Amino acid sequence: MINQLRVPVNSDSDIVIARQKGRALAEQLGFSSSQLTLIATAISELTRNIVYYAKCGEVILQRDDNGARPGIVVIARDEGPGIEDIERALQKGYSTSGGLGLGLPGVRRIMDEFQIDSALGRGTTVRVKKWKL
């Protein structure tokens, strides 16, 4: 069984590739079909943020049996411009790209764990986890 996958992100079509690979990994780990869709949706949003804001980066998908609950971890990492105001970026309706501003808050809503680390000029890393029920 594959425990970790790295998906390079350079263009729009990588959004679909990343979420399909994430879904496949989560399926191997035994997630239910509704959880698979939530995981794929979160990967889609995080990967799109990389494409829109940083142009390129990577998505790491891994099985995680550490911590209180086993599950799947998705790490979306880029070396883009970084987020100026993380608090606002997590609010519904706030966007600097002309989007609806529902990506990051949506991801936080549908995943069980959510961590974001961003520094201006250095990039952004978002780590999310979905627990296996």
Partner 1 sequence: MAVPILKQGQYLIATIQSALSDVDLTHLQDALVGQVGKLRSRGVIVDVTALDVMDSYASRTLRDLAHMIRLRGAETVIVGIQPEVAFSVAPGSENQASSAKR
Verify binding: residue 13, partner 1, rule CB under 8 A.
yes
SS (H, E, C) the chain: CCCEEEEEECCCHHHHHHHHHHHHHHHHCCCCHHHHHHHHHHHHHHHHHHHHHHCCEEEEEEEECCCCCCEEEEEEEECCCCCCCHHHHCCCCCCCCCCCCCHHHHHHHHCCEEEEEEECCCEEEEEEEEECC
State the binding string over 38-77 for partner 1 (x if CB under 8 A, else -). x-xx--xx--x-----------------------------
**CB of 36 or CB of 72, closer to partner 1:** 36
**CB of 88 or CB of 109, closer to partner 1:** 109
- Choosing from 99, 112, 122, 133, the residue that interacts with partner 1 (CB under 8 A) is 99
**CB of 8 or CB of 99, closer to partner 1:** 99
Cβ–Cβ under 8 Å, residues 38 and 74: no
Least gap, CB of 24 to partner 1 (angstroms): 11
**CB of 27 or CB of 79, closer to partner 1:** 27
Stretch that binds partner 1, among 17-25, 72-80, 81-89, 111-119 (CB under 8 A): 17-25
Stretch that binds partner 1, among 33-41, 63-71, 83-91, 119-127 (CB under 8 A): 33-41
Cα 14 to Cα 11: distance, rounded to the nearest angstrom: 6
